[in-house]
Amino acid sequence: MSDADLTGAFVTLELSADVVLKLHRLSDRDISELDMWIRGKVVAIARAAITDDSTAAEQAALLEAGMSKAMRTSWMTGDGRALIASPDGLARILYQADETGHDYGEIRAMLYDPNVLQRVAEAVREIQPKMPKSAAAGKRPAGLTNPPRPKPKRSGKKK
């Protein structure tokens, strides 16, 4: 167990000489907000799949599939873990846990430095040890590379 587990102490993470984050352990509310962020990303991916050439029926089907997938996605599911393991996801976790009020964009921009990414992985493991290993390690597994597709309609006949 880490100090954060035992005492609720903050974890300090130095992203640069100017940006030092003071991270608290993620609460149930924080995790719920991360899940909402993930669901919003899934819906945004579905919306991005709609083109100017899409018919109204295709648009409706893509949005329906995206909404359906979003409701089944959390930070503990495969697609949710992929989003959390991305620079956006890691930045969102840090932003969510930060007590100093740093800007999300400022945090995200620093996550492309491999040295910073290693320190981030260590800090994330301290504030949330039950986090999926792929996300805490900063790995970027294949995720939502393809937009959600509508499920084929069944004929209604049972075999």
**Contact between residue 97 and residue 31 where contact means Cβ atoms under 8 Å apart:** no
Residue 130: per-residue pLDDT: 57
Predicted TM-score (pTM) above 0.85: no
Taking the C-alpha atoms of residue 131 and residue 135, their distance in angstroms, rounded to an integer, is: 7
Residue 157: per-residue pLDDT: 57
Distances in whole angstroms, Cα of residue 131 to Cα of each of 41, 51, 80, 92: 19, 36, 11, 14
Residue 47: per-residue pLDDT: 92
Give the residue from 108, 95, 114 showing the smallest Cα distance to 21.
95
Q: Which residues of the chain are modeled with pLDDT < 50?
A: 4, 131-132, 136-149
